[in-house]
Amino acid sequence: MHSQHRLMLERAQSYQLSRPMIPSRVPSPTSLPVDERTGTIAFAFDIDGVLVRSKDPLPGATEAISMLQKLGVPFIFLTNGGGKTEEDHVTLLAKRLELELSAEQFVQAHTPFRDLIPQLQHKNVLVLGGTYDSMRLVAEDYGFKHVYTTSDIYRSFPNIYPFDELTSEYHKSAGREVELDSAGMLQISAILIWSSPRDWGTDLQFMLDLLLSHQGFVNTISSLNGNKSLPNNGYGQDGQPSIYWCNPDLTWATSHPLPRVAQGSFRAALQGIWLSQTGLDHIPNETTVGKPTKATYLYGEKTLVAYNNKVNDEDTPQIEIVYMVGDNPASDIQGANSFVSPRGFEWKSILVESGVHVAGTSPAHSPTHIVADVLEAVNLAIAEWTTGNCQNSLSKSSTLVDLTELTIKEEELEK
């Protein structure tokens, strides 16, 4: 028996499930006897609401992660959070959990933007989210060479937002002069939203301006807008910037007792304004990564495989099952349930009750299992794997959605 299997078996024997498990109707590779298996399980952990809540570690988080480290079970963090480099974010999480973690295990909401470097590296991009220079620094760390923030635009074009009483001092101090071209113009090729925008009024106004502009030039308006002989009545038909979102979450779990609005809510606000101004119910040239999109699960799986190959020796078992442990049914659970692994991995979902999902309520997307917290999730997965009997504590009958519209084209993101 592989040493990892032996250690997992020992762990499983000491664990008592707190809820009854119902045999799965779906045959699984875990139905092989444990000593005949050559593969392993792996984990993808959501962070907010699973491992931490705001700055505080959640009960069982440190124990769950350190147990996997001892067992040599590969895992990654798959979060819709961001706003920092992967190195900075993993350092913060490691400190909060009092563990050693690697940035190579870390997929944030905007990590897939790294794959946009070949096409946008030398273009002017507008980045939204964060405060002061934080998003510019992350974007530059990824390799983007010409990065602007809304504060930069404000500094050069102070009239873009008329209700600046509360924010003008901030934008003046946070922004820097933009580089105009030889005609005195600024052209933005893409808008990348990295985390929740802070000054919604200015950001919404400026995004709308660019969506209605001629080829993304600031302070222009397209003559094609409203032309009924063109597709979409001429809107989005004039080389306007592409928009890249990285977090569809409408809400997220913080230390506040009620969920707080997240980037998806900002997009909904823009969508509402766009609809009322153009009559169109979709924003043109937009793509979205982040859970639950296929693009992010592809990126996560790629990261997991690379990490497993790096940290484990040659006879390490290959990954057969990935458990996505999350607190948000619409994000973590829907994404894992919908994802079809190109490598043939089986993705299962475990919903915890320590974040967005409220115990006793019925989640909109049914996970493979529901448990109290991350430690119970890990114990359950190990028990399921080592008993050689794949079991479901719930039926997996979530509403599958077509994620193609939410997903960056694979040729843009897949290496």
What residue ranges bind Mg ion (CB under 5 A)? 46, 48-49, 327-328
* Candidate segments 73-81, 151-159, 180-188, 335-343, binder of ligand G3P by CB under 6 A: 73-81
The least distance separating ligand G3P from the CB of residue 87, rounded to whole angstroms, comes to 17
The least distance separating ligand G3P from the CB of residue 101, rounded to whole angstroms, comes to 14
Residue closer to ligand G3P, measured from CB, 79 or 379: 79
Residue 330: name the closest of 398, 413, 256, 279 by CA: 398
Applying CB under 6 A, which of residues 8, 34, 41, 48 lies at the interface with ligand G3P?
A: 48
Q: Is 376 in the site for ligand G3P (CB under 6 A)?
A: no
Q: Is 47 in the site for ligand G3P (CB under 6 A)?
A: yes
The answer to whether residues 281 and 275 touch, using CB atoms and an 8 Å cutoff, is: yes
Angle 103-106-110 (CA atoms, 0-180°, nearest 5)?
Answer: 115
Binding to ligand G3P by CB under 6 A, coded x per residue (else -) over 256-285, reads ------x-----------------------
Applying CB under 6 A, which of residues 46, 301, 376, 384 lies at the interface with ligand G3P?
A: 46
Query: Which residues sit opposite 45 in a β-bridge?
Result: 77, 325
Q: Is 216 in the site for ligand G3P (CB under 6 A)?
A: no
Which parts of 317-414 are beta strand (E)?
A: 318-326, 346-352, 369-371, 391-392
**Three-state DSSP class for residue 93:** helix
| Contact of residue 247 among Mg ion, ligand G3P, none (CB under 5-8 Å per partner type) | ligand G3P
Half-sphere exposure at residue 80, Cβ-oriented, CA atoms within 13 angstroms: 29
Structure tokens at 315: 């006879």
C-alpha distances (whole Å) from 93 to each of 133, 163, 169 are 22, 38, 32
Burial of 20 (0-12, 13-18, 19+ CB in 10 A): exposed
Applying CB under 6 A, which of residues 74, 81, 241, 335 lies at the interface with ligand G3P?
A: 81
Residue closer to ligand G3P, measured from CB, 74 or 355: 355
Provide the binding-site residues for ligand G3P, judged by CB under 6 A.
46-49, 79-81, 247, 249, 252, 262, 328
